[in-house]
Amino acid sequence: MTSIADRIAGPPLAAEADAIARDAAPARSLPAISFPVGGERELRLDLFRGLALWLIFIDHLPPNLLTWFTIRNYGFSDATEIFIFISGYTAAFVYGRAMLESGFVIATARILRRVWQIYVAHVFLFTIFLAEISYVATSFENPLYTEEMGIMDFLKQPDVTIVQALLLRFRPVNMDVLPLYIVLMLFLPVILGLMRWKADIALALSVVLYALTWEYDWYLSAYPNGYWAFNPLAWQLLFVFGAWCALGGAKRMSRILASRITLGISFAYLFAAFLVTLTWYIPQLNHLMPRRLEQWMYPIDKTDLDVLRFAHFLALAAITVRFLPRDWPGLKSPWLKPLILCGQHSLEIFCLGVFLAFAGHFVLAEISGGAALHFVISISGILIMCAVAWIISWYKHSADKSASRTKSTAGNADLAGGG
């Protein structure tokens, strides 16, 4: 396994690194957009995106032993933040370069092609969801849950429901991330255009939009009623911030990131958030929480990316960047390879994760196997995700090699992937 994986990842990565290094030289002459020095593929991004995918999968399953390893139990933010930030970072990195090399129109065209791919993936997932919910509707009869079965009412109007799903307005639970990503990617050309002009203004505009969204309670409506579970008007902040970091912001912040004060604040904040989350899981501690603080703080809004969540993510990121250097040798270790591979094919693996979570629910419902089965399902899900990531990467680098040799130097969608 190791040798094959190395064979896959080794040479193309080196080639890509060369290509990026070559591109980086002219890029640095432009003040507005610059690429990280050395321009080597950021394995840290792949690693953490892979991790986010695993965590999202585990969070989508019913709670079990592994759920205790997901970060949402230890603070305010969860895997979604990591995912959207890294997606913004990589998308800006790849398409920003395309914009620099080939111009606005070509880059936009390539972004739109990516948007289409994500859209198709979303529709595919919706089909699976329909199959699952139809099965439950016909097989589940429990007098205890008559009321909850009201969720099946939409099956009475499949025509409306399916059209609304195609319009991204009907989105079942756990299928909210892809629509968010589609909208964010749609606006990427504008974001990149602005960044190219003045990166800081683009970021400032993003903050303003975020603030206005909170002030005036803007949201996107959904079908049959309600709202988008991830409000793109708020979550764009994370995406744009990722893009800003990719296009030189990270380098400019390196001084701040290296300071002890930042580190101290980050640790203090993470610790405070940990204490707060502790009161959620050990309700006996609840009386220790100051009432004032509770009233000011709750609810911590995921839909609109609460500032507390955003800050929590920033603190996590600051500490990660500090203690996990870009050239950490462990990134090349075979143990982390599965994670990195998953992160490199994020759209496919994300979809697979959602599907596996559905399938896991199904198995758990059919066989009441208790905690042990639960654990087995979680682990097999992760193993399947790794295996598929490895197969995809094999297709890309070996099976399709002759076909793709000519275009492999261009920034590939798998680097910009995510969903």
Instruction: Identify the residue among 3, 29, 31, 143 touching other proteins (CB under 8 A).
Output: 143
Instruction: Identify the residue among 67, 303, 320, 412 touching other proteins (CB under 8 A).
Output: 303
Which letter does DSSP use for residue 248 in this model? I
Q: Which stretch binds other proteins (CB under 8 A): 85-93, 344-352, 360-368, 408-416?
A: 360-368
Q: Which of residues 272-301 bind other proteins (CB under 8 A)?
A: 283-284, 286-287, 291, 294-295, 298-299
Instruction: Identify the residue among 364, 376, 387, 391 touching other proteins (CB under 8 A).
Output: 364
Q: Which of residues 56-75 bind other proteins (CB under 8 A)?
A: 60, 62
Binding status of residue 141 toward other proteins by CB under 8 A: yes
DSSP three-state, residue 360 = helix
CB of 149 to other proteins, least distance (A): 8
Structure tokens at 218: 């803007």
* Closer of 268 and 365 to other proteins (Cβ): 365
Q: How many residues bind other proteins (CB under 8 A)?
A: 47
* Closer of 343 and 381 to other proteins (Cβ): 381
Q: Which of 390, 383, 346 is nearest to 79 (CA)?
A: 346
Single-letter residue type at 404: S
Q: 350 burial class (0-12, 13-18, 19+ CB within 10 angstroms)?
A: buried
Under a CB-based contact definition with an 8 Å cutoff, are residues 100 and 30 in contact?
yes
Distances (CA, A) of 102 to 30, 98, 114, 212: 15, 6, 17, 35
Distance (Å, rounded) from C-alpha 92 to C-alpha 243?
5
What is the residue-wise DSSP string for 300-336? --TTTT-HHHHHHHHHHHHHHHHHS-TT-GGGGSTTT
* Residues ≥6 apart with Cβ < 8 Å to 89: 45, 242, 243, 245, 246
Single-letter residue type at 70: T
Instruction: Identify the residue among 261, 366, 405, 406 touching other proteins (CB under 8 A).
Output: 366
Q: Which stretch binds other proteins (CB under 8 A): 172-180, 184-192, 269-277, 308-316?
A: 172-180
Q: Which of residues 148-167 bind other proteins (CB under 8 A)?
A: 148-151
Q: How many CA atoms does the CB half-sphere of 233 hold within 13 Å? A: 16
* Closer of 159 and 366 to other proteins (Cβ): 366
Instruction: Identify the residue among 3, 156, 159, 173 touching other proteins (CB under 8 A).
Output: 173
Q: Which of residues 191-230 bind other proteins (CB under 8 A)?
A: 217, 219, 222, 224-227, 229
Cα-Cα-Cα-Cα torsion 165, 345, 27, 11, nearest 10 degrees, comes to -160
* Closer of 141 and 159 to other proteins (Cβ): 141
* Closer of 110 and 302 to other proteins (Cβ): 302
Instruction: Identify the residue among 17, 136, 209, 278 touching other proteins (CB under 8 A).
Output: 136
DSSP three-state, residue 243 = helix
Q: Which stretch binds other proteins (CB under 8 A): 139-147, 232-240, 307-315, 320-328?
A: 139-147
* Residues ≥6 apart with Cβ < 8 Å to 297: 276, 308
Under a CB-based contact definition with an 8 Å cutoff, are residues 161 and 154 in contact?
yes
CB of 54 to other proteins, least distance (A): 18
Q: Which of 356, 362, 411 is nearest to 389 (CA)?
A: 356
Q: Which of residues 308-337 bind other proteins (CB under 8 A)?
A: none
Instruction: Identify the residue among 142, 288, 335, 403 touching other proteins (CB under 8 A).
Output: 142
CB of 167 to other proteins, least distance (A): 16
* Closer of 154 and 390 to other proteins (Cβ): 154
* Closer of 67 and 117 to other proteins (Cβ): 67
Q: How many CA atoms does the CB half-sphere of 227 hold within 13 Å? A: 13
* Closer of 299 and 329 to other proteins (Cβ): 299
CB of 247 to other proteins, least distance (A): 35
Structure tokens at 127: 């089909």
Single-letter residue type at 355: F
* Closer of 31 and 150 to other proteins (Cβ): 150
Structure tokens at 70: 């997901």
CB of 148 to other proteins, least distance (A): 5
Single-letter residue type at 197: W
Which letter does DSSP use for residue 187 in this model? T
Residues that bind other proteins (CB under 8 A): 60, 62, 132-133, 136, 139-151, 172-174, 217, 219, 222, 224-227, 229, 283-284, 286-287, 291, 294-295, 298-299, 302-303, 357-358, 361, 364-366, 368
